[in-house]
Chain A
Amino acid sequence: MTRTATFLPACLLVLTALAQEQGRVRFFVDPGDDFSFVLDNKYRLQQREISLSPGPHTFTFWAPRHAMVDTSFTVIADSLSILTLRLPLSLEYIDHQRELHRFRRKQLLTRSLPAAATAGVGIWAVAGFFAYRNAHNDLQDLEKEYADLQVPRAIAQLKEQEIPAAKETFKEKRTAFFIAGGLFAAGLVGTIHAFRSTAHREVPVFEDKEKLRFEGLVWAPGAQGGTWAAGISLPLR
């Protein structure tokens, strides 16, 4: 009883002394939403503020899609220190972004452009068809007009100028429609082929190797000594 009574105040005294000696570190890290860090090569943590014993400490910061950054920081007792850090994008992620950009550009070239061009030619073909139809109607109207006219000079003008001109216009519109229709058909076939040939093309997936390296840094103490923990992540889709 006497020993217990002596031990408890001593423990409280030590804990109080320890609490007073610790210093706090607050992290301002970019990106600030999901960064993690490994403290002193031992503990993987994910928090914005930590209390540590005074003295130098090592930190390894990491965030998804970003590279690890090692830094050391000296904690001062009974004070709040600020650690500001900006994590750079990892090289793998930059490469992935480039690959993704190439993929999207390729998709654009092989799918969107042919589709857009085909749609444009389709509109041209439809417009061409209506122009062709109108030219035909104009020609028919002139033929009807011939039967109704009662002025010889007007009839002569109709036969010598207006109908030949309308025939020429009809030919032009028909040719334009055939060309537009042919191009549209070819474009349609090409677009369908482009869509079919690229249907199974896989979108580049980002594999965050920096994360594997970061998770591999953690040393987990066990009963038989320390072990290095490594992890692997598989994208589930």
Chain B
Amino acid sequence: MSIVLLSILSGCYKDEVDLAALTTNPFDPGYTGPAFIAVTNESTQQVAPNVYNQVLEIAVDHGILQPAASYKLLVTDLNNDTATELQQTAPGSNTFTYTNNSVALGVEYCYTISVLVQFSTTRNEGFCALAEL
């Protein structure tokens, strides 16, 4: 009888935490859900003779990523291997603007973009665009 009781009791508790399935939090670097960072607009602007900037308008989907506090975006220019932190345009805003100074026309520039919270980043989203007028 006690064996049966013990079996019943032990059957109540199982290790139900599947580590491989823990990928649903968008703040998780291993997040596998839909992208929540999107480049909404890209343009190349001439700011001086033979000097061009590439401007990216970036939006974060707050329907997926629901931050409890302000956050930054980290944009890494893979062509030059430089990283830039972007502040929110306004508190609570989900839009950011990134400007890559001195791009060369006709060159494709690639970037990785992620949310930066307390010196750690979410999953990188990749974006490439050709610098052209």
* Chain A interface bracket (under 10, 10 to 19, 20 to 34, 35 or more): 20 to 34
Cβ-neighbour of A153 out of B2, B6, B17, B118 (below 8 A): B118
A8-29 contact mask (Cβ, 8 Å, vs B): 1 or 0: 0000000000000000000000
A170-208 contact mask (Cβ, 8 Å, vs B): 1 or 0: 110010011001101100100000000000000000000
| B:1-60 near A, CB below 8 Å | 2-3, 6, 9-10, 13-17, 19, 22, 24-25, 27-30
| B:111-133 near A, CB below 8 Å | 115, 117-122
What is B's interface to A at a CB cutoff of 8 Å?
A: 2-3, 6, 9-10, 13-17, 19, 22, 24-25, 27-30, 67-69, 115, 117-122
**Contact A152 to B28, CB < 8 A, known contacts A146-B22, A174-B10, A178-B10:** yes
Q: Which residue of A lies closest to B117 (CB)?
A: A151
Q: Report the number of A-B residue pairs with Cβ-Cβ less than 8 Å.
A: 84
* Bound Cα distance A149, B2 (Å): 42
Tell me if B122 and A152 are in contact (CB < 8 A). yes
**Contact A155 to B15, CB < 8 A, known contacts A150-B117, A185-B6:** no
Shortest Cβ distance from B62 into chain A, in angstroms? 13
What residues of chain A lie closer than 8 Å to B25, measured between beta carbons? Answer: 146-147, 149, 155
Q: Which residue of B lies closest to A134 (CB)?
A: B13
Tell me if B67 and A181 are in contact (CB < 8 A). no
Tell me if B120 and A156 are in contact (CB < 8 A). yes
Cβ-neighbour of A159 out of B6, B28, B122 (below 8 A): B28
* Bound Cα distance A174, B12 (Å): 11
Tell me if B30 and A150 are in contact (CB < 8 A). no
Of the listed stretches A73-81, A100-108, A135-143, A216-224, chain B binds A135-143
**Contact A156 to B29, CB < 8 A, known contacts A150-B68, A164-B19, A170-B15:** yes
Tell me if A136 and B120 are in contact (CB < 8 A). no
Tell me if B27 and A155 are in contact (CB < 8 A). yes
Q: Which residue of A lies closest to B120 (CB)?
A: A153
Shortest Cβ distance from B104 into chain A, in angstroms? 33
**Contact A151 to B118, CB < 8 A, known contacts A143-B22, A163-B17, A170-B15:** yes
Tell me if B120 and A174 are in contact (CB < 8 A). no
Tell me if B10 and A150 are in contact (CB < 8 A). no
* Bound Cα distance A171, B13 (Å): 11
Tell me if B117 and A129 are in contact (CB < 8 A). no
Q: 25 pairs across A/B with beta carbons < 8 Å?
A: A125-B6, A133-B13, A140-B16, A146-B22, A147-B25, A150-B67, A150-B117, A151-B27, A151-B118, A152-B29, A152-B117, A152-B120, A153-B119, A153-B120, A156-B28, A156-B30, A156-B120, A159-B22, A163-B22, A167-B17, A174-B13, A178-B10, A181-B2, A181-B9, A188-B2
Besides the contacts A140-B16, A167-B15, A185-B3, what 8 more A-B pairs have beta carbons closer than 8 Å?
A: A149-B27, A150-B27, A152-B29, A152-B117, A159-B28, A163-B19, A167-B19, A188-B2
Query: A150, A153, A156: which has the most chain B beta carbons within 10 Å?
Result: A150
